[in-house]
Chains A and B, each alone.
Chain A
Amino acid sequence: MGKKQRGKNASLQKKAERKKAADDFTLSLDSSDEEAPEEVTFEDSKARAFQSLKQALDTARREKEQLREKRRKRQEFFQEQKKNKLLPADVLEEIDPTPLKKQKQSEDEAEEEAREEDGEKEEGHTKERRKLPHDRTLKGSYTVTTVTEREAAHYQRQAAEDFIRSRLYGPGSCRSTSNELLSLQNKRGTNKGAAVQFVKKDWACKEKAKAEKLKKRWLHKQQMSSS
């Protein structure tokens, strides 16, 4: 193999040839044993080095891009998740219409300035209350209250009150109502009278209402059965 023309093509050619040669080499080891090593031109090697460098840079760049892409995708995914967690956009807008307000404000301010200049000439103290950007007006009726965090204490207190109530008024305490007591007094006394709920007009209202209803129902039933 003699000297060939310099140039890329040459090197490519050389590569192809070398490959062929290599193949030949393996196939016919004996024949090219004595041949001299191939001559590699400077240009060739420079080109080769350049290429490998380019390749390296390319791969690096590609990797970086891939990483960046990955990161971007993850970021988007998180944003998506976050958005899904939040309330729908219209509710948020109601509560926090600041971006809109900011626009409105700038318009308003322009108007106000114009108005104020006129206004000030007339009256000295027209107060136009400007809404600061930090103010929030909530549409509808919302109330803010502190949460009283004494749940456990309340439970214990309730238990204590129940204990006392069951001890003093619960089963086994043998207490009767005022109605019973006074009715018995009425019936056993010297001037015997009716039970107290019939004597006093405003006692036992609920029982009287129930009795009225029952009477009405009974009368109705009687009428139905007779008719």
Chain B
Amino acid sequence: MSSQFDECGQRLQAFTNLSFFLSQCQMGEFKVHRVRFFDYMPSAIRAMAFNSHTERLAVARADGAVEIFHFADNYFQEKVIPGRDRRAIEALCWVGHRLFSAGLDGEVTEYDLENLRARYSIEAYGGPIWAISSNSQGTLLAAGCEDGTVKMFEILEERIQFQRNLSRQNGRIISLSWHPSGALIAAGMMDMVRIFDTETGHATHRLLVERGVGASKSREVVVWSVAFLSDYTIISGDSVGKVQIWDGLTGTLIRTHLVTKWDVLALSISQDESSVIAGTSEGTVVQFQFISSTVGQQDKHWVRTRTFKNHSHDVRALVHTDTAVVSGGMDTQVVVRPLLDKVEKNTQESALRKIAFPHRSLVSCAKKTGLLLFQFPDHLELWRLGESDGNGTPGESLPVKRKPEKLIQLKRKGEDHICCSTLSPCGSWLAYSTVSSVRLYRLQLSSNNISIQKVSKLPKELRSVHQLCFSSDSSRLFASSILSSVIVVALDQTECKYLHTLKHKS
């Protein structure tokens, strides 16, 4: 939502000044083009979920894209599932190796991580879904809906199946957390936290959250996030800026910490339940630890320890791994902050990491004709580089005779966002693919005219393509497909023919 970006804050200067350096070889002399007209706008991070067994972080963005980062592999962005027009993900959840998401479209979606697409979606019929969470056994998936119901789904082999509703409440369910035993669920709603008994489905306790003071007393408090610990302690973060510690068995408030004047949007507990992190609207991440005030003493409390200020905008997603605090939010960067009491200081491990740029190339270049293709989620832009005829000493900037010019803006068809795109080196072929289709275009560029023609009738083998590449003589197109195979297609004047498939040895 780029409009959201403009409303809320700074246009990232880093992205408006993205520079790409290209070189034109001319007898050992290089002319370098500095390109500043790629208006790439990344998408805000909405939700994150970490799978500690496989060390993978799933990140859901505001445009519906889901990215998988492999933490053990140098935090590489392994997979990208492109978004869709109407998809707005609010929550992500790992169940074993399976990834589920739910959002404002009211559907629970399971993803196929091999083929990088949504495997299926089922409608929950509860209105927009705000939160999903699975129990620790991995048998049930709970979805908190706009209409006030918590819907339970049975997780089966190939699909999920609706089981029942818990007792319906009067307000929307914003956040959910299972107790590790699976017998209770804490649900954050408006003005309160409800505790449900999953056997009977009834709400047993109601924890009333105080509203703000002054002007905000008239507005309802939204409990943005809850966490249920095994000793029946419930931790809640709300829109007034409080992090509250409750006793889940008696339904009483133990402690309140006022962390910020604005919202506490996300909470995450560590695996051993000794540390909790809270993300705020100001971009800070606050850590609380369950420690005793003096060493050796037995009485432990939740004490606020560290504050991290690594974001410029709201932190909407948090993950507490064993060694680090991972946060993401509206400023679109994934920040991994290792905790210095868990890792060795001054090593590579302990460095702060900010994953800001995409790990896949969004720019293709046709070297021979000086054309650039920029990939956006909903369209492609074809630009011609500028020209300069001056000569100068090395390091000097040359006068620009002809400015760079946008030749074509090609809007995609359908609802799926563009997955990959490429331009042939000779500049006469352009191809892009989405999750559902591949499109190939023939370009004809003369001195002051450009024409583009779609090549219809592509071979039917070109399906679910995630990478496209032209050969250097522009006679072949290579496309990566399912089951680790590469499809080779021959290109002729205006048509293309399927040649063969390169298959993986195993």
A residues near B (Cβ < 8 Å) are 153, 156-157, 159-161, 163, 167-169, 172-175, 177-178, 181-182
* B106 near A168: Cβ-Cβ < 8 Å: no
A160-B10 contact given A167-B263, A172-B215, A172-B219, CB 8 Å threshold: no
* B10 near A156: Cβ-Cβ < 8 Å: no
* B105 near A157: Cβ-Cβ < 8 Å: yes
A175 to B314, CA, bound (A): 11
Give the contacting residue for A178; candidates B6, B127, B172, B314; CB below 8 A.
B6
Q: Which chain B residues border A172 with CB–CB below 8 Å?
A: 215-216, 219
* A173 near B262: Cβ-Cβ < 8 Å: yes
Residue-wise interface mask of B (101-129) relative to A, using a CB-CB cutoff of 8 A (1 in contact, 0 not): 00011100000000000000000000110
Query: Which 7 pairs between the two chains have the least Cβ-Cβ distance?
Result: A160-B128, A156-B127, A178-B10, A157-B104, A160-B104, A178-B11, A157-B128
* B10 near A157: Cβ-Cβ < 8 Å: no
A167-B222 contact given A175-B7, A181-B10, A182-B10, CB 8 Å threshold: yes
A-B contact pairs, 13 of them (CB 8 A): A156-B106, A157-B105, A159-B146, A160-B130, A160-B172, A163-B172, A168-B263, A169-B7, A172-B215, A174-B261, A174-B262, A175-B8, A182-B10
**Interface residue SS majority, chain B:** loop
Specify the chain A residue showing the minimal Cβ separation from B224: A167
CB of B414 within 8 A of chain A?
Answer: no
Specify the chain B residue showing the minimal Cβ separation from A166: B219
A189 to B239, CA, bound (A): 33
CB of B9 within 8 A of chain A?
Answer: yes
**B288 vs chain A, min Cβ distance (A):** 24
A177 to B6, CA, bound (A): 7
Give the contacting residue for A175; candidates B9, B128, B219; CB below 8 A.
B9
Within 8 A of A (CB), among B241-288: 261-263, 281
Q: Which chain B residues border A175 with CB–CB below 8 Å?
A: 7-9
A216 to B262, CA, bound (A): 44
A160 to B89, CA, bound (A): 13
**A188 vs chain B, min Cβ distance (A):** 15
Q: Which chain B residues border A153 with CB–CB below 8 Å?
A: 105-106, 127
Q: Which chain A residues border B6 with CB–CB below 8 Å?
A: 177-178
A165 to B478, CA, bound (A): 44
Specify the chain A residue showing the minimal Cβ separation from B12: A178
Specify the chain A residue showing the minimal Cβ separation from B86: A157
A173 to B282, CA, bound (A): 11
Specify the chain B residue showing the minimal Cβ separation from A174: B262
**A126 vs chain B, min Cβ distance (A):** 25
* A160 near B216: Cβ-Cβ < 8 Å: no
Q: Which chain A residues border B10 with CB–CB below 8 Å?
A: 178, 181-182
**Interface residue SS majority, chain A:** helix
* Sample of 12 further A-B pairs with CB below 8 A, known A157-B104, A157-B106, A157-B128: A153-B105, A153-B106, A153-B127, A157-B105, A160-B128, A163-B172, A168-B314, A169-B8, A178-B11, A181-B9, A181-B10, A182-B10
Q: Which chain A residues border B127 with CB–CB below 8 Å?
A: 153, 156-157, 160
Q: Which chain B residues border A168 with CB–CB below 8 Å?
A: 8, 263, 281, 314
**A185 vs chain B, min Cβ distance (A):** 10
A175 to B263, CA, bound (A): 12
Q: Which chain A residues border B11 with CB–CB below 8 Å?
A: 178
A93 to B130, CA, bound (A): 54
* A156 near B146: Cβ-Cβ < 8 Å: yes
Q: Which chain B residues border A167 with CB–CB below 8 Å?
A: 222, 239, 263
A174 to B212, CA, bound (A): 15
A167 to B9, CA, bound (A): 16
A178 to B313, CA, bound (A): 12
A20 to B445, CA, bound (A): 123
A161 to B106, CA, bound (A): 12
Q: Which chain A residues border B9 with CB–CB below 8 Å?
A: 175, 177-178, 181
Q: Which chain B residues border A160 with CB–CB below 8 Å?
A: 104, 127-128, 130, 146, 172
* B128 near A156: Cβ-Cβ < 8 Å: yes
Q: Which chain A residues border B239 with CB–CB below 8 Å?
A: 167
Q: Which chain A residues border B8 with CB–CB below 8 Å?
A: 168-169, 175
Specify the chain A residue showing the minimal Cβ separation from B220: A167
**B199 vs chain A, min Cβ distance (A):** 30
Residue with the greatest number of chain A CB neighbours at <10 A, chosen from B7, B128, B239, B281: B128
Q: Which chain A residues border B215 with CB–CB below 8 Å?
A: 172
Residue with the greatest number of chain A CB neighbours at <10 A, chosen from B104, B222, B314: B104
Q: Which chain A residues border B128 with CB–CB below 8 Å?
A: 156-157, 160
Q: Which chain B residues border A157 with CB–CB below 8 Å?
A: 104-106, 127-128
**A167 vs chain B, min Cβ distance (A):** 6
**B132 vs chain A, min Cβ distance (A):** 15
Specify the chain B residue showing the minimal Cβ separation from A153: B106
**B220 vs chain A, min Cβ distance (A):** 10
A122 to B314, CA, bound (A): 78
Residue-wise interface mask of B (54-83) relative to A, using a CB-CB cutoff of 8 A (1 in contact, 0 not): 000000000000000000000000000000
A181 to B313, CA, bound (A): 13
A113 to B104, CA, bound (A): 62
A199 to B123, CA, bound (A): 50
**B238 vs chain A, min Cβ distance (A):** 11
* A161 near B314: Cβ-Cβ < 8 Å: no
**B148 vs chain A, min Cβ distance (A):** 12
Q: Which chain A residues border B106 with CB–CB below 8 Å?
A: 153, 156-157
Q: Which chain A residues border B281 with CB–CB below 8 Å?
A: 168, 173
**B60 vs chain A, min Cβ distance (A):** 15
**B10 vs chain A, min Cβ distance (A):** 5
A167 to B222, CA, bound (A): 9
Specify the chain A residue showing the minimal Cβ separation from B222: A167
A161 to B222, CA, bound (A): 15
A174 to B413, CA, bound (A): 39
Specify the chain B residue showing the minimal Cβ separation from A165: B4
Residue-wise interface mask of B (284-301) relative to A, using a CB-CB cutoff of 8 A (1 in contact, 0 not): 000000000000000000
Give the contacting residue for B104; candidates A161, A174, A178; CB below 8 A.
A161
Q: Which chain A residues border B105 with CB–CB below 8 Å?
A: 153, 157
**A67 vs chain B, min Cβ distance (A):** 57
A182 to B13, CA, bound (A): 11
**A156 vs chain B, min Cβ distance (A):** 4
**B428 vs chain A, min Cβ distance (A):** 33
Residue-wise interface mask of B (213-225) relative to A, using a CB-CB cutoff of 8 A (1 in contact, 0 not): 0011001001000
Specify the chain A residue showing the minimal Cβ separation from B130: A160
Q: Which chain B residues border A174 with CB–CB below 8 Å?
A: 261-262
A161 to B62, CA, bound (A): 12
Q: Which chain A residues border B222 with CB–CB below 8 Å?
A: 167
Q: Which chain A residues border B130 with CB–CB below 8 Å?
A: 160
